[in-house]
Amino acid sequence: MITGHNLTYAYGAHRVVDDVSLTTAPGRVLGLIGPNGSGKTTLLRLLHGALPPQAGSVTINETPLEQLSPRQIAQQLSVVVQESESDTTITVGEMVLLGRAPYLKPFARTKPSDHRIAAQALERVGVAHLGHRIFASLSGGERQRVLIARALAQQGQHLLLDEPTNHLDIRYQHEILALVRGLDVTTLIVLHDLNLAAQYCDELIMLDHGRIAATGTPDHVLQPELIERVYGIHAARHRLGGHLQLSFSLHPELAQKGPLR
């Protein structure tokens, strides 16, 4: 369980995260949503220790984050950030084996058990056949699967993802989130697409200018009045295949201005 207590972080005088508290539920998918600049990625970085909070604290299974070493954090939290390793020349298998690093002593070689765990992770995400391919040669959806496999190879109790569907086409977006949804680990995920959040998250936290605007189930949070206040766009609710779906339209005065330049 990850708990953030009254977290605050500012760049200069601008508070990006402002007194935010949250708790993940075991085995559930918690989505962080909100407009650009609302503090989603900064909050995620506070929760996994990439940034130190300027106020508040983070605990992992009731242990303060600052009392854990980077190795201990990596053994409990698996993090998939926005793609930044597309130029690497290592293979898929080598990429996934990096997930075993938190369990290796300095300069130690990986053991057969590490290779077995990495192979199982690749199998679990459906890309075992890509093990000998160069990571940079993969498609965007394949890369995301491999990065999730690397996170699974860490064997952490918690999976944190920052916009894993970014730059993916519609099919891959749903494939990746369906994969994450079925992993049976505690998951915290940053998403831009509200319809994807409605379909694949158990609970949502909507951020607005660094503060929590709403929290609860997708059905509770994704209300047209709230979306209009936070995002500045009209929303209508529908049901498609039993899932909540939203359609959007601009305010008339914005629509008349034409495309942004």
Dump pLDDT digits (tens) for 186-197: 999 999 999 999
Residue 212, in any domain of the structure: no
Residue 17, in any domain of the structure: no
Q: Which two tokens stand for residue 74?
A: 């990596």
Q: What is residue 136's DSSP assignment? A: G
Terminal-to-terminal C-alpha distance of the chain? 45
Beta-bridge mates of residue 240: 243
- CATH classification at residue 96: 3.40.50.300
From the list 193, 191, 195, 171, the residue with the least C-alpha distance to 245 is 195
pLDDT score for 86: 61
pTM for this model (two decimals): 0.89
User: Which distant-in-sequence residues (6+ apart) come within 8 Å of 42 by Cβ?
Assistant: 9, 16, 17, 51
Residue 252, in any domain of the structure: no
From the list 117, 81, 70, the residue with the least C-alpha distance to 98 is 117
Residue 74, in any domain of the structure: yes
The burial of 225, by beta-carbon neighbours within 10 Å (0-12 exposed, 13-18 middle, 19 or more buried), is given as exposed
Note whether 203 and 220 are within 8 A (CB): no
pLDDT score for 251: 73
10-residue mean pLDDT profile of the chain (261 residues): values are: 96 94 94 96 95 95 93 92 72 94 88 94 91 91 90 92 88 90 92 96 97 96 96 93 90 60 48
User: Which distant-in-sequence residues (6+ apart) come within 8 Å of 68 by Cβ?
Assistant: 49, 60, 76
- Strands 158-162 and 186-190 come out as parallel
Give the integer Cα–Cα distance in Å for 225 and 16: 24
pLDDT score for 257: 58
Residue 152, in any domain of the structure: yes
Residue 48, in any domain of the structure: no
Q: Which domain holds residue 122?
A: 67-156
Residue 45, in any domain of the structure: no
Give the integer Cα–Cα distance in Å for 162 and 179: 15
Round the CA-based radius of gyration of the chain to a whole number and report it: 19
Domains contained in the chain, number? 1
Residue 92, in any domain of the structure: yes
- Strands 203-208 and 211-216 come out as antiparallel
Length in residues, the chain: 261
Please write down the long-range contacts of 105-112, taking CB distance under 8 Å and 24 or more positions apart: none
pLDDT score for 156: 87
